[in-house]
Structure 1
């Protein structure tokens, strides 16, 4: 289904949650479409986890309403909501085998033993754990435990899947592997999924849409591509990767269009090209802005090389893919920087 035309399955309607006099979530209004993978992203204290706990039914709103499939659930306790939940700790039953962990939610629903066994076998196969049904959780790797937690959340075919920092306990390589696994499962099940994370890369990889929260409010909601390429505010620009905010930079910034009122210019580090001052001009030089600067620092990060270059009163970040035969600029080197004027974006400061 085209997500842009899919019907709404979840609605936050002007929801506020207070802890004492502190508003963890303020006037939150948000729609999640059926079959969508939506990620709520933000720093600590932004309200993202509280929003998920409200949706899960673990806390109740002080104001507003939460609607699922057309029905208000603001006063419905968690155990009466038909949803699968995966926590960062996985919360597997340590005294039960993998198979019994998967069987437990089916048993609680009164499903007959033969059907439970069939479902468990089928689910173990779908998450590639068919040989591990008799093991205890303590005998599994972190990635295997994560797949068991996902399988347990999905086995009863709930209409909603809620993920609370689901990959936070994994190392980088395993986290990237499990991102691919989660995308595959989402495509296969087509289940409406709401995920909370502070990991920008995870959000960009998994999501159909991303909600960026700040101080209990939504800062911006959009597709991963739009959030990264066209952030609305300097907060989103800096939170979704690195950004050069060109506010009073100490040099004239050239534009193709007039900047909107009350905005500042921004350009992503990978959009800036670095070269020797004597390098020949590019074929599209008339569409570019060129300046010179001095390398302050160079950081090698495997496939990427990052420079901090002082230009005027600004320190610009430049990021390039490492390639054979590429010049390497050490601190103190004079360099030429240039970028397409069309790559400059305007954000609210």
Structure 2
């Protein structure tokens, strides 16, 4: 609680040993508060926090055996890379020769063997990121907390570091809890994702489960783009019966766009087809995105760019088709 405001409500979560779990949500959803509770920077107003079956709710952060990486990396600017890595070992009373051996091995593992003598300001963003991760891992904590770890990086470097994070997680096998608002980052890195909304858990599952089988409109829209087929001017065909209180949802990449005169492929008996008019076409490198008006509804279609592919322009009549099994039903 922050005064009369409950930042988290009914938050109950079990984290499996060795998994990479991401807490995902928009600003104000409670994800950062959850991380602060796990880190010991905030005490819970009620409830408990258990690690390996023992309560740590009253244990201060500096007494918890954990590694933390902040969005700003929080490297000591007046210390070299090597001294940054030595610091947590020195605080634990490790002898100099043993510290040196640990630091050498860690610098090798994060591909910074020749950078030990540099100051943080002399490193690129990606290199600083690796130093922060190395410092969090070097004391061999049982779990690792990541607070928006890639938020300060540009897109290309962020994608590169996602691969590095996955590789380090596989190598060290640390239980890792990551907080982010970046959907792509969560889908790429996680074994499981916790989607937060207004201080509550909206849904927990694997990346595939949450993307392909969202339970609510919020999860469907937050994890990628979604066509919410609310009151469409055509009957929705599906292999499943629509539960009461739900609306149909279709991912843009599940829709195939063709000319209205194109012949149906094999398996057309399992598909639904509608005719519409292209309202807009957006070229985005490997992808081409269409907004197609079907009656009073606007459907988003996303296809991978390929040679010889027919390109449709604004005003073109097209036919859209999708498998009836691709339709999902989400709660309001």
Shared fold (TM-score, shorter chain, > 0.5): yes
Correspondences of 1:274-289 after superposition (within 5 Å): 274-289=257-272
Q: Deviations over 1:125-166 (max 9, x none)?
A: 000000000000000000000000000000000001000000
TM, length-normalised to structure 1? 0.94
What secondary structure does 2:49 align onto? strand
Task: Give the match for residue 218 of structure 2.
Answer: 235
- Equivalent residues in 2 for 1:141-152, closer than 5 Å: 141-152=124-135
Secondary structure of the 2:234 match is coil
Which residue in 2 is equivalent to 1:162?
145
Asked if 1:113 corresponds to 2:113, the answer is no
Is 1:323 matched with 2:306?
yes
Of residues 123, 147, 158, the one that matches 1:175 is 158
**Residue 84 of structure 1: CA displacement?**
0.2
TM-score (structure 2 length as normaliser): 0.99
Query: Per-residue CA shift, 1:231-256, capped at 9, x if unaligned?
Result: 01010000000000111012111122
- For the aligned residues, what is the CA RMSD? 0.6
What SS is found at the alignment partner of 2:13?
strand
Give 1:283 deviation, angstroms: 1.0
Q: Which structure 2 residues correspond to residues 95-134 of structure 1 after superposition, within 5 A?
A: 95-134=78-117
1:91 aligned partner:
74
| Larger strand proportion of the pair | 1
Equivalences for 1:1-349 in 2 at 5 Å?
18-349=1-332
**CA distance in 2: counterparts of 1:212 and 1:161, whole angstroms:** 19
Q: Distance in 2 between matches of 1:290 and 1:182?
A: 42
Q: Tell me how many residue pairs correspond in the alignment.
A: 332
- Give, in angstroms, the shift of residue 264 of structure 1: 1.1
For residues 10 and 260 of structure 2, what CA distance do their matches in structure 1 show? 52
Q: Distance in 2 between matches of 1:258 and 1:127?
A: 51
Which runs of at least 4 in structure 1 moved beyond 4 Å after TM superposition? none
Please state how far the C-alpha of 1:28 moved relative to its aligned partner.
Answer: 0.4
> Matches of 1:285 and 1:145 in 2, distance apart?
53
2:48 is paired with a residue of what secondary structure?
A: strand
Q: Deviations over 1:161-217 (max 9, x none)?
A: 000000000000100000000001000100000000000000011000000000000
Which structure has more relative contact order (CA 8 Å, sep 6+)? It is 2
Task: Give SS of 2:280's match.
Answer: strand
SS at match of 1:29: coil
**After the TM superposition, which of the residue ranges 144-153 and 256-265 deviates more from structure 2?**
256-265
Equivalent position SS for 1:27: coil
Structure 1: gaps spanning 5 or more residues: 1-17
Give the superposition deviation at 1:269: 0.2
Match of 2:102, SS state, is helix
